[in-house]
Structure 1
Amino acid sequence: MTSPRPRLAPLYLAGFTTAFGAHGIAAALGAETEDIGWTLLAFGFTLALYDLAEVLLKPVFGALSDRIGVRPVIVAGLLGFAAFSVVGALVPGTIGLVVARFGQGAAASAFSPASSAAVARLADDASRGRYFGRYGSWKGLGYALGPLVGAGLVVWAGLPALFWALAAVALVAAAWVRFGVPAVPVLPRKRVTVADLVRELAAPGFLVPTLVLAATTGGLAVAVGFLPLLGRQTGMGTVGSMALVTVLAIVSSVVQPWAGSLHDRGRLRIRAGAVGGLALLAAGMLLAGLWSVVGALVVAAVLAGAGVGLATPLAFAHLASSTPPDRMGRTMGSAELGRELGDAGGPLIAGAVATATVPGIGLVVIGGLTAGAGILAGLGLRRVPDEG
């Protein structure tokens, strides 16, 4: 189903909601850990619950959206996100936080891949890059504003205020999607065997863009954690070091629609954008790891944001163009699983290396792995004639 001007703004708010919730709650929990009385182990476990739920459930809900339609899954997921946010606001103590965090992740597992599938179904080939760029831009704003707004709400009225705000945003998004997004028809689906599924996941049209998405998400997760750490070590202070993440997120949000639009106009090929984006991200990681001074960290944040912004919408556009519409939800759910693995694996690798050496070496290793992913993506995309 296509439209010259698809009504996708409600989907942008859905993307903003999951990003805002993930980073807003994470930052707030970090600030409140001592008051709650948690150990670092309990803190890390609670943070991981959101991603754990997404890893387990995104492919499931993505496939479900192919069966019953993307709009019902998005609306139900947003309503579930609102409900679990209310649990976090009303139920005090660790149990309420654990239930709310896992429940929010489970709900995001429903509406996040379904929203990506809806963008792919509602936009045509000539405009898909632009709309994926806008969708990613709004998610980037959620990542940038989550910690800032979340911190303000917690200072103003405590952690429950942040949960109430998330519930309100999710309810508004659910209503807007229900009445503002056109219904996407469910297409007939052929019976799929395990062998068919393995072939789909191993196909270059799926594997290469998913590798790009995993590499960009992993690099982003490492940058969000390690750039402020290095900033504090160089004497930037808490506000200045956190500002590095804001710079990264803003640059990514600006670049994504621009890159998607260039691709739609035939001025930026998938291969050049994906490889170039991973090269910029790798350069930012290497610069920050090898030269941890204030100016270099700012430039590293800009490079990383530009790399993520350049590669992400083009990888999604290529993924959508190479996937039959009848299994768009399942493919997007599986690709989102790849992103989550990168989101978890990047910080784990960087943290392990940094523990054995110094934080800068952890960034250097991630930069090398990102560059390697760029080389593999370049080789894989050479097989796509129309993308150079």
Structure 2
Amino acid sequence: MDKVTPGARDARAAGAQDGAGRGGGGAGPMAALALAMLLAALGTSIANVALPALAQDLHAPFARVQAVVTAYLAALTLSVVVAGWLGDRLGMRRVLAAGLSLFALGTLAAALAPGLAGLVAARAVQGMGAAVMMVLAMALMRQTAGAGAVGRAMGLLGTVSALGTVLGPVLGGALLPLSGWRTLFWLQVPLALLALGMTLGLLPRGRGVPARPGQGLFAGFDRALLPNLAVNLLVAAVMMATLTVGPFYLTGALHLTAPQAGLVMAVGPALSILSGFPSGRLVDRLGPARVLTAGLMLLATGAAALALLPGLAGVAGYVVALALLTPGYQLFQAANNTSALADLPEGRRGTVSGLLALSRNLGLMAGAAGLGAVFALAAGDPVQASAAALTHGLRLTFLTGAGLALIGLALTRPPWHKVRA
């Protein structure tokens, strides 16, 4: 009998896993995973628009009502790595179905919540389910796509994630005046059940890889992934700054109304939807190394443009900068996720997907806190600051963001990291 090395066993396991994915592949499984990712993103953004109505209906101050949003995000962030590890150990299809069930139960509990405390608890349960959905949708999409179409699969997830983020405020704003905040949660229950049915009916069965004695969440972690995770954090921080700094600059310096500022800020998510899938196709055609470099360079250029162009050309300059920044982000996401997940053996894809989600969420928090502090330091109190001060704050914030993107570019170069071609 021929001897089989551990590396060959891993390669055979990965090949068998990919074969199972292709055998059950096609539009159906990809649609099930896309819907799971869409729901996780929708849950992140749909409650924000209801905060004033919740404060009024539940007779609670705004500071307490904000917990409805932060409970979801905190539970999601704290659960992503565990969700991926459980998927690897118990089988990703099985754990994804459990996550969708948890999301549906949390959503139902939110719709029926008698008060603020119950609503916050329900949102935390919803966030734990969303962590499973977000992480395992990515890992299973890699498995379902097979080796030749990983970039397109990652691009599709980027598109539906952006779509869910955009749909949240749009659907919430349309439904809230008609039927109240509970409808925002009732809407998600049948969608979660549909995603659960599609997961059970369309995704191939798979078995997990049992943990060896003493093997915890980070056992066997490949340090070569650290640059992928670090750059993911830096880029997420830059993108979050557009959401935290943008409203103050657009209304305070460019004197737009709130609805006008919202329309300008919607340009970014709209471009994310349009550029996600094409970015994935470029990754499959050119390889993740080239596209990762191009994405980070475009993102750095867009951040520098956002620092300089609005002061010169007003709203038009702001939109042009977003038109550079956002496609650069989607190119980066498709290439970075493909690079991190492409050659992983069975038993590691879920955990690495969880680490990617964790680094992204930590980057969002770092962007809101860190780059928000840079803006406030340069502009003073953003509510009271003059147009000149706000312009100075925007300039310093996004020149810093451009610097972070360039640091990310350096981290993807040897000797720090060799991106898979």
1:208 matched to 2:239? The reply is: no
Displacement of 1:290: 5.0
Displacement of 1:376: 3.3
CA distance in 2, matches of 1:281, 1:181: 39
Contact 2:245 2:372 in 1 (8 A): no
1:255 matched to 2:278? The reply is: no
Displacement of 1:245: 3.0
- Cα 1:137–1:166 change in 2 (3 A) is same
Total equivalences in the alignment: 385
Task: Tell me the equivalent position of 2:405.
Answer: 374
RMSD, aligned CA: 2.7
Displacement of 1:36: 4.1
Deviations 1:91-131 (A, max 9, x none): 23312321122121111112211111111222222210011
- Comparing 250-259 with 31-40, which one deviates more in the overlay? 31-40
Partner amino acid for 1:316? Answer: N
- TM-score (ref. length: structure 1): 0.89
Displacement of 1:32: 4.3
Q: Which one of the candidate residues 262, 272, 290 is aligned to 1:242?
A: 262
Q: Which one of the candidate residues 33, 58, 61 is aligned to 2:80?
A: 58
- Cα 1:236–1:386 change in 2 (3 A) is closer
CA distance in 1, matches of 2:393, 2:140: 37
Task: Tell me the equivalent position of 1:337.
Answer: 358
Task: Tell me the equivalent position of 1:143.
Answer: 165
Matched residue of 2:286: which SS? coil
Runs of 5+ consecutive residues of structure 1 not aligned to the other structure: none
Displacement of 1:24: 0.8
Deviations 1:132-163 (A, max 9, x none): 10111011101111101111111110000101
Q: Percent identity at matched positions?
A: 26
Displacement of 1:54: 1.6
Contact 1:227 1:244 in 2 (8 A): no
Task: Tell me the equivalent position of 1:28.
Answer: 50
Task: Tell me the equivalent position of 1:125.
Answer: 147
Contact 2:375 2:396 in 1 (8 A): no
Task: Tell me the equivalent position of 2:126.
Answer: 104
1:265 matched to 2:289? The reply is: no
CA distance in 1, matches of 2:400, 2:212: 38
- Cα 1:280–1:131 change in 2 (3 A) is farther
- Cα 1:386–1:117 change in 2 (3 A) is closer
- Cα 1:80–1:189 change in 2 (3 A) is closer
Matched residue of 2:146: which SS? coil
CA distance in 2, matches of 1:98, 1:232: 31
CA distance in 1, matches of 2:219, 2:409: 23
Displacement of 1:65: 0.2
Contact 1:60 1:333 in 2 (8 A): yes
CA distance in 2, matches of 1:274, 1:208: 15
- Comparing 274-283 with 71-80, which one deviates more in the overlay? 274-283
Partner amino acid for 1:23? Answer: S
- Comparing 223-232 with 63-72, which one deviates more in the overlay? 223-232
Displacement of 1:63: 0.2
Displacement of 1:191: 5.4
- Cα 1:256–1:183 change in 2 (3 A) is same
Deviations 1:311-333 (A, max 9, x none): 11111101102533321111111
- Cα 1:224–1:266 change in 2 (3 A) is same
CA distance in 2, matches of 1:292, 1:117: 43
CA distance in 2, matches of 1:355, 1:30: 25
1:179 matched to 2:201? The reply is: yes
Displacement of 1:270: 4.0
Q: How does 1:1-388 map to 2 (within 5 A)?
A: 1-2=17-18, 3=22, 5-6=25-26, 7-30=29-52, 32-34=54-56, 36-187=58-209, 197=218, 200=221, 203-204=223-224, 206-233=225-252, 234-266=254-286, 269-283=290-304, 285-287=306-308, 293-358=314-379, 359=382, 360=390, 363-383=394-414, 387=420
Matched residue of 1:126: which SS? helix
- TM-score (ref. length: structure 2): 0.83
Partner amino acid for 1:135? Answer: L
Displacement of 1:280: 4.2
Partner amino acid for 1:354? Answer: F
Runs of 5+ consecutive residues of structure 2 not aligned to the other structure: 1-16, 383-389
Partner amino acid for 1:327? Answer: R
Displacement of 1:42: 1.8
Deviations 1:58-114 (A, max 9, x none): 111110000111112212111211211111111233123211221211111122111
